[in-house]
Amino acid sequence: MDISIVLAAGEGTRMKSKIPKVLHKICGKEIIKYVIEASQGANIDKCILILGHGRDEVIESLKDNDVIFENQPIGDSFPYGTGFAVMQGVHHVNDGDTVLILNGDVPLICSHTLKAFMDFHKKEEAAVSVMTAIFQNSHGYGRIVREETGEVTAIVEEKDATEFEKDIKEINSGIYCFSGKELKRTLTRLDTNNSQNEYYITDAVGLLKNEGKKVCGFRIDDVMEISGINNRYQQYQLNHHKQLEINKNHMINGVTIIDSHNTYIDDSVMIEKDVIIYPGTVLQGTTSISEGCIIGPNVTIVDCKIGHDTIIEQSKLIDSFVGNNSSVGPFAYLRPKSNIGDHVKIGDFVEVKNTTVGNGSKASHLAYLGDGEVGENVNIGCGVIFVNYDGTHKQLTKIGDNAFIGSNANLVAPVTIEKGAYIACGSTITDDVGEGMLAIARSRQVNKEKKNQ
C-alpha cells in the first residue's frame, strides 16, 4: 500500500496571522488542499494528515476530503520536529508499505512528480529516497552529499556544513519516500540530542545510511515545486507563479487573455475556448465561462455560470447565472441568486438581486431589481425600482411577458404586473395591474400663473 504522511502541525508564526498557515490560500485554494490533491493524484491509497495548531479549523476546512487526521501533541513537555510529527501517523504503516513524507506548506508539488518519485524509490529498492533540487543560492538548506555511485551519503545542515559542503548546490527538499519497515524501525531510534531538542526525520536518513542501507536522491528540475511558504511574501511569490501557470493553461486551451499579469483566475474556474479576457478581470470560486464570451475589462465574477457569447464589462457578479448572448454592464452589479436569461441586457448602473429576468428582456440603465420575477421581452425603464422591503420582510415583484415599465416607476411589492401591461413613467404602483392594462399612478400636473407683486 502507498501511504502519504502530510506534516501540517506547525504554528506558522512568521505568517503573523490568526489563520493556520496551511489554510492560507494560493489562487483561491487552501495550501493544504494542493498537497492533499497532489498526493491523491499520485494514486496514494491512504493520506494521513498530522495536525497541531489550528487543528479544528483545518479539520472543518477538509471535512469533504478523504484524509485521516492525527493529532500532534502541543506543549513544553513534548518534543517537536519532523520526526516527532511522523511518529504520530506511523501506526497506520505496515512493513510492506511505501510511505511518502510531505510538507503541508509546499503547495506546488505535482502529482506526476510524486508518482515518478515513488516509482524511482521502488525501482531502486531503497530504504529511503530523498527528493532534491539544484539551487544556485543554497544558503539555509540542507546539502545533499553523494557518493560516486550517486547514492546519498549524508544530508548536511547549513550550520554543520564545511566550506566545501556549503558550495554544494543540491539541496534537500524535505520530501522523503521510505520503506514502511525501515521507517517504523528507525523512528524508534531517533533522539533529541541536538540544539533544538527535537526529533528530526533527517536523522532517520543518517541512521539508515550508517547501517549500510540504500539511500537514494531523486533530483527534480522545477524548484518551484518544492518551494515552501513561511511568510506572506513567499505566499505572494508562489501565488504569482501559480497564477501565471493557470493563465498559461487557459491560453493553451483556446482562451485569449490580453494581459496575463493583470488577470486573476482561481484554480477552480472553468473557461471554454474562444473566450476573450481583458485586463483587470478577477474570476473566482466555482465560476464557469462558456465559449465565445468577452469578459472585462475590470470585471469580478464569483461563483457564477456564464452562457456562451455573452459580454460582461466593468461589473461585479456573485453567485448568479447569466444565459447566452446576453450583456451585462458597464457598472452593473448582480448580487446572489440573480438568474439572467438569453439575449438579455443588464445595462449600466443596474443592480439585480434574487431576481429572474426572462429571455429578451432589458434593463438598460439605473434600475434596481430586487426579489423579482421578470418575464420575457420586458422593458424596464431608466430609474425603475423594485421596492422590495417593507421594513420587516422582503416581498416579491412579478412582471409578465411583454410588459413595459416606464422610467422612474416604483413597484411596491408585493405586486404583480400581468403580461402586456404598461406602467406610465413616474408612477408608484401599489396594486396589481391586469393583462394589457395601462397603469398611471401620479398626480395630475398643475401649472399656476405667477402672481403680480
Lowest mean pLDDT among 122-131, 146-155, 212-221, 382-391: 146-155
CATH architecture of the domain 254-439 equals 3 Solenoid (2.160)
* Portion of the chain with pLDDT greater than 90, in percent: 83
Our answer to whether residue 343 is catalytic in this structure is no
Tell me whether residue 29 is exposed, middle or buried, using C-beta atoms within 10 angstroms of its C-beta: 0 to 12, 13 to 18, 19 or more: middle
| pLDDT at residue 431, as a whole number | 97
pLDDT digits 0-9 by tens, 39-57: 999 999 999 999 998 999 9
CA distances from 109 to 41, 103, 159, 228, 296 (A): 11, 10, 27, 10, 32
Same fold, 2-226 and 254-439: no
What is the average pLDDT across 435-440? 97
Domain ranges of the chain: 2-226, 254-439
Q: Which CATH number fits domain 2-226: 3.20.20.60, 3.90.550.10, 3.40.50.720, 3.20.20.80?
A: 3.90.550.10
Query: Which is the catalytic residue, given 24, 308, 365, 393?
Result: 365
Confidence of residue 195 (pLDDT cuts 50, 70, 90): confident
Residue 453 pLDDT level (bands cut at 50, 70, 90): low
Residue of 422, 326, 435, 414 lying closest to 372 (CA atoms): 414
pLDDT in tens, 25-42: 999 999 999 999 999 999
Burial of residue 251 (number of CB atoms within 10 Å: 0-12, 13-18, 19+): middle
